[in-house]
Amino acid sequence: MADPWQTPHSGYHWAGRDRRFFEGWYLRLTLPDVRQTIAFMYSIDDPQGESPLSGGVAQILGADDEYLCRTFPAVRGFWAERESLALGHWGTGKREKGRGLLEPEMFDRTIQEGYQVSATLHQGRLQEPSGKTARWCYQVQPIDGWGNRGERQRSTAGWLASLPVFEPGWQILMAHGLATGWMEWNGHRYEFCNAPAYAEKNWGGSFPQKWFWMQCNSFEGEPELAVTAGGGRRRLLTWMESVAMVGIHYQGQFYEFAPWNAKVHWQVAPWGDWQMWAENDLYRVELVGKTARSPALVRVPTAEGFVFTCRDTTQGELSLTLWNRASDRLIIRANSSLAGLETGGKPWHETWIG
């Protein structure tokens, strides 16, 4: 690893083979002072460039869940590092081919539309034909990856994530970090210092039938608390399985509730209500997510292409309660109104209990 804190799977996974493949990255920036969050979603589909689905997409779910989307059909403008988190896609500008991370000043001079990401830098410029615009540049100080702070970081899906057995793969890259910089969103400028930042990714050649997700690292009065939880119905070789997990970082310690070490239960409505309970030998946790907001629709890769099958909000309500099982001691109880909440996949109309 280029940096010891980086997680497994930080690098790009495409091996150059001619098969259905996508890789996607999700980065989230929370601005507690103005009660807003901004989610950036980047993806590359069939990067060999010979498929009708080949190309890249950049999406932003911005202030008040307003949506912006740009496509980059030319795969030669995409680049990514295989050994560390670093990627970008140039749309228009003086550089037509992707050749690696640029200094911020060089990016400004040469890239009219596009983005670049590393473990410590995020910069971009997008504009829809409708007139919606976004420009941003900020530095990131990583705090927690996926594991105890200061120790070797873990694969979110366990060691089998290195094999194309479970697809799509999923990896939290940075459960918690601090971002400093600026963003201009449709003419409004936000400047921030030490704002909570988050990053994850997924990749593969098959797609979950349905899924749910909760994420927050901006809790009231708890600057060192981050949680990511989710579940999905995915393909495992020749059959389908439903799995879920909860991961919590609190004051440098990692609490993991996954299929290989815990019992995980969930009850999730098609929209508006997320509930999870999990316990392992040492701890138990309860998560409750709620929203009365209408969902924002975003595009995700599918076998048929990039389509609106994901329902999101970045301003959900989330409560978390974590106990020590042996002593029944409460470790933490926390709340947030700036949580990311999501359901996705083919439309489902009944509460999903698993």
CA-based nearest residue to 227, from 320, 289, 315: 320
16 pLDDT higher than 90: no
Map 242-311 to HEC letters: EEEEEEEEECCEEEEECCCCCEEEEEECCCCEEEEEEECCCEEEEEEEECCCCCEEEEEEECCEEEEEEE
Dump pLDDT digits (tens) for 190-243: 999 999 999 999 999 888 889 999 999 999 999 999 999 999 987 666 667 788
Q: What pLDDT was estimated at residue 50?
A: 85
Dump pLDDT digits (tens) for 46-104: 999 989 999 999 999 999 999 999 999 999 999 999 999 999 999 877 776 778 999 99
Q: What pLDDT was estimated at residue 96?
A: 66
CA-based nearest residue to 87, from 173, 208, 215: 173
**Distance of CA 160 to CAs 66, 169, 170, 203, 291, Å?**
37, 10, 11, 14, 34
**Cβ 226 vs Cβ 28: under 8 Å:** no
Instruction: Give the mean pLDDT of 33-38.
Output: 96
**Distance of CA 156 to CAs 172, 200, 255, Å?**
6, 10, 12
326: alpha, beta or left? (left if phi > 0; alpha if psi -120 to 50)? alpha
196: alpha, beta or left? (left if phi > 0; alpha if psi -120 to 50)? beta
Q: Is 30 helix (H, G, I), strand (E, B) or coil?
A: strand
CA-based nearest residue to 306, from 10, 8, 41, 35: 41
110 pLDDT higher than 70: yes
Spatial distance between the Cα atoms of 112 and 279, rounded to a whole number of angstroms: 50
Spatial distance between the Cα atoms of 172 and 155, rounded to a whole number of angstroms: 8
Dump pLDDT digits (tens) for 296-334: 999 998 888 889 999 999 999 999 999 999 999 999 999
Dump pLDDT digits (tens) for 287-301: 999 999 999 999 998
Q: What pLDDT was estimated at residue 1?
A: 41
How crowded is the C-beta side of 200, counted as CA atoms within 13 Å? 24
**Cβ 141 vs Cβ 99: under 8 Å:** no
Token digits for 94?
């003086």
Q: What pLDDT was estimated at residue 303?
A: 82
Q: What is the DSSP letter of 110?
A: H
Show Cβ contacts of residue 81 under 8 Å, excluding neighbours closer than 6 positions. 11, 12, 87, 100
CA dihedral 132, 312, 136, 24 (to 10 degrees): -110
Residue type, 327: S
Show Cβ contacts of residue 269 under 8 Å, excluding neighbours closer than 6 positions. 343, 351, 352
Show Cβ contacts of residue 280 under 8 Å, excluding neighbours closer than 6 positions. 256, 257, 261, 262, 263
Spatial distance between the Cα atoms of 227 and 216, rounded to a whole number of angstroms: 6
CA dihedral 190, 39, 84, 72 (to 10 degrees): -100
**Cβ 78 vs Cβ 91: under 8 Å:** no
Q: Is 297 exposed, middle or buried (0-12, 13-18, 19+ CB in 10 A)?
A: middle
pLDDT confidence of 159, banded at 50, 70, 90? Answer: low
pTM for the structure as a whole: 0.96
Q: What radius of gyration, in Å, describes the C-alpha atoms of the chain?
A: 19
Instruction: Give the mean pLDDT of 107-120.
Output: 96
